[in-house]
Amino acid sequence: MNEELMRRAEELLEKLTLEEKIGMIHGAELFATKGVERLGIPPLRFSDGTMGVRQEFAPDSWHAVGNTDDFVTYLPCGSAVAATWNRSLAKMAGSVLGAEARGRGKDVILGPGINIKRSPLCGRNFEYFSEDPYLTGQLAAAFVQGVQQWDVAACVKHFAANNQETKRLQVEVEIDEEALRSLYLPAFYETVKEGGTLSVMAAYNRLYGEHCCQSDFLLRKILRQEWGFDGLVVSDWGGVHDTKLAAQSSLDVEMSVTNDFDQYKMAEPLKKLVEAGEIPESAIDEKVFHILMTMMRLHMLDGSRKSGSYNTREHQNTALMMARESVVLLKNSQGILPLRKEACHRILVIGENGNRIHSNGGGSAEVKALYEITPLMGIKKLLGGNCRVDYVPGYCSDGFLGEDAGLDGSGDGQAENWQETSLENGGGSIKVQREDEAARRRRQAMRQEASALAASSQYDKVIFVGGLNHDFDSEGNDRADMKLPYDQDVLIGELLSVRPDMVMVLMGGSPVEMGRWVDRCSSLVWCWYGGMEGGTALAEVLFGQVNPSGKLPESFYQTIDDCSAHSVGEFPGTDKVRYREGVFVGYRYLDTFGKEPQFCFGHGLSYTEFTYGKASLGKASLSGEGNTVLCEITNTGCLPGKETVQVYLRQKERNPKQPYQELAGFEKIELQPGETRQVIVAFKGEFKGREIAVGSSSRDIRAIVCSPDGETDSKLLFTGTL
């Protein structure tokens, strides 16, 4: 800690009355605390969210103010950031969010969301990065650094083990501590240590009998004592349940969703306990001290704070660059992609997602985007009038929003201010598809229309754009299953029967079942919620203006039974959820127990080819930590392209007690056709007794470096060969 800042914080602290201090540690508006005007201490202003700065709400109600000056840049979602596997892009995305938060007058931006994707069904997966702690930690730390360049605090959330929406306010996570520490905490640690995050949001759920927002174990023991975090700890909105426990824990600020601000647990009730001598005033001082330190680190008190900006061309361009690198080419077995613009005179686009806007949904991550280019618009603007583009929806979500026993951030009309009622019903439930005869008939008619058009000989190409939307990928609910909603499987099957060369594009925050048609389609592209330029980027990939380079940051299971949270553990729990699968999450489970994914972790094709030469172990990285692998990569294809070289530490033999392999390092590079480059990949982790595998995905290993047996000093330089 900077001693000068500490001294100034102490000085200010001494001048504050109990009343003023209490005002600083709880929400006095839905997104702000109280300041202390007489001492020049401003309120602390928070804003969601993870993909852009949220629109303004009235201070004491969840009614959007409806201004015309709070439109913003809409960035690709967290999963898309992860799919780029690109640290500098992650930092640039963070920088856009930070600049825009500052530009909109915010102090703390409530993101990134970095919970581990334990099951594809978690409703907030689209906000989160990956099933892998290393990938999440690396990219999230870079993202945080980007945000904080702008004198705005990032707020990594939700600490910790917040992996389902169902009953999120009360569910007790039962997990052994080793699994917690090796899978669910490392990304948070990385954002604290490497990212230098200035704030952390505690989660709603319970862990080891404590609500995370008032957990002594998580907040004091781990975060403060073990990791030395001296920044700001904020509760999730409505996550505090007990005045004493919250006061005694290392939580600094209590926020909630109701407007009875004085009745928040850390407001009047806490003041009374302090006055009655039941809680020492020093407990409040500790919290206020963290708040003051944060304000000083953000230059909120010294007049030297940077100014930000929003909706700049640069920000839009960053959103586009991110979107381009996040698109994952899953399959291209007949080489249909890229499409040739010159060869297209008339094409047909089918699918509601082709023409749907997603920015305005998802819960607190909703964004009031300045604009959003849909896939259809992206395709049309790329083709520029020389090709006629017809569109039919093929399926519809209208009237089929799904039974929602709890929350729906997408605003299905039942609860206009869903956040206000979000404390009800345990905070969340499962989204069930409602079977509605009228909707089914409508979809059948749409299918017939689409199939008939697709079958006609007038189209050079047919492109389907479907997948999920924020009726399903949303805060406050989990998906009931992994199936494509709205009878899309039937539609896709029918379309592929008449157009086997149809280009398939799916969108979503997590995988869907593809077994009913995947073998029959030859080209398949996955895009996430790609931000305001998502449609531009998708079109550029489809028509070869951009060579795809996204890689899956999570396993795409064949069915939900292949996911360990479901087959070994439980998902979702209600009062309790048992993480019986321990560390065997995602590829750690599939690879150890010999199960085939539909598409594996790290997978993503390119329009060019990369060959890998021999790999050897290099020197320890400059910081002296970790090691490096050297590998020669050549672009042997005809197009420039980007490749992510992945390093996994592997058991020499499969052993059910430990994950067979774990991602330990990666590096993304760009190569021109024919170019060869020696790539240096820094990696972390103990490799004694393990193989170092280098490859293009977790299941496409191209080189192995063997560590010599008996090697003890993992920092020693030696050369291994294949």
Q: Which residues bind ligand BGC (CB under 6 A)?
A: 48, 110, 157, 236-237, 364, 422
Residue 200 Cβ, how far from ligand BGC at the closest point, in Å?
Answer: 12
CB nearer to ligand BGC: give 422 or 564.
Answer: 422
Residue 198 Cβ, how far from ligand BGC at the closest point, in Å?
Answer: 16
- SS3 of 577, please? strand
The answer to whether the beta carbons of residues 156 and 188 sit under 8 Å apart is yes
CB nearer to ligand BGC: give 164 or 598.
Answer: 164
CB nearer to ligand BGC: give 124 or 461.
Answer: 124
* Alpha helices, H only, 25-132: 78-84, 87-103
The answer to whether the beta carbons of residues 173 and 207 sit under 8 Å apart is yes
Query: Residue 549: CB partners within 8 Å, gap ≥ 6?
Result: 84, 325, 604, 606, 641, 642, 643, 644, 668
CB nearer to ligand BGC: give 359 or 598.
Answer: 359
- The beta strands (E) that lie in 309-375 are given as 328-332, 346-350
CB nearer to ligand BGC: give 214 or 422.
Answer: 422
Helix (H) and strand (E) counts in the chain = 17, 27
Residue 256 Cβ, how far from ligand BGC at the closest point, in Å?
Answer: 9
Rounded Cα gap, residues 675 and 671, in angstroms: 6
CB nearer to ligand BGC: give 48 or 513.
Answer: 48
Rounded Cα gap, residues 469 and 354, in angstroms: 11
Residue 204 Cβ, how far from ligand BGC at the closest point, in Å?
Answer: 7
Rounded Cα gap, residues 259 and 719, in angstroms: 63
The answer to whether the beta carbons of residues 615 and 692 sit under 8 Å apart is yes
Residue 364 Cβ, how far from ligand BGC at the closest point, in Å?
Answer: 4
CB nearer to ligand BGC: give 110 or 453.
Answer: 110
| β-strands 627-635, 676-683 pairing | antiparallel
Tell me how far CA of residue 44 lies from CA of 92, 324, 578, in angstroms.
25, 35, 37
CA neighbor of 383 nearest in space, from 409, 346, 412 = 346
Rounded Cα gap, residues 500 and 484, in angstroms: 20
Residue 697 Cβ, how far from ligand BGC at the closest point, in Å?
Answer: 31
Rounded Cα gap, residues 95 and 77, in angstroms: 15
CB nearer to ligand BGC: give 197 or 627.
Answer: 197
Sequential DSSP letters for 640-691: -EEEEEEEEEEESS--TTS-SEEEEEEEEEEE-TT-EEEEEEEE-S--TTEE
Q: Which of 48, 151, 236, 478 is catalytic?
A: 236
Residue 542 Cβ, how far from ligand BGC at the closest point, in Å?
Answer: 33
CB nearer to ligand BGC: give 236 or 554.
Answer: 236
Residue 469 Cβ, how far from ligand BGC at the closest point, in Å?
Answer: 20
Rounded Cα gap, residues 279 and 483, in angstroms: 51
Q: Would you call 48 a catalytic residue per the annotation?
A: no
Tell me how far CA of residue 350 lies from CA of 178, 376, 381, 442, in angstroms.
47, 9, 17, 15
Q: Count the Cβ atoms, other than its own, within 10 Å of residue 280.
A: 13
Sequential DSSP letters for 31-46: TEE--BGGGTBPPPBE
The alpha carbons of the chain give a radius of gyration, in whole angstroms, of 25
| β-strands 576-578, 610-617 pairing | unpaired
The alpha carbon of residue 695 and the mean position of all alpha carbons in its chain are separated, in whole angstroms, by 24
Residue 422 Cβ, how far from ligand BGC at the closest point, in Å?
Answer: 6
Which residues are identified as catalytic? Answer: 236
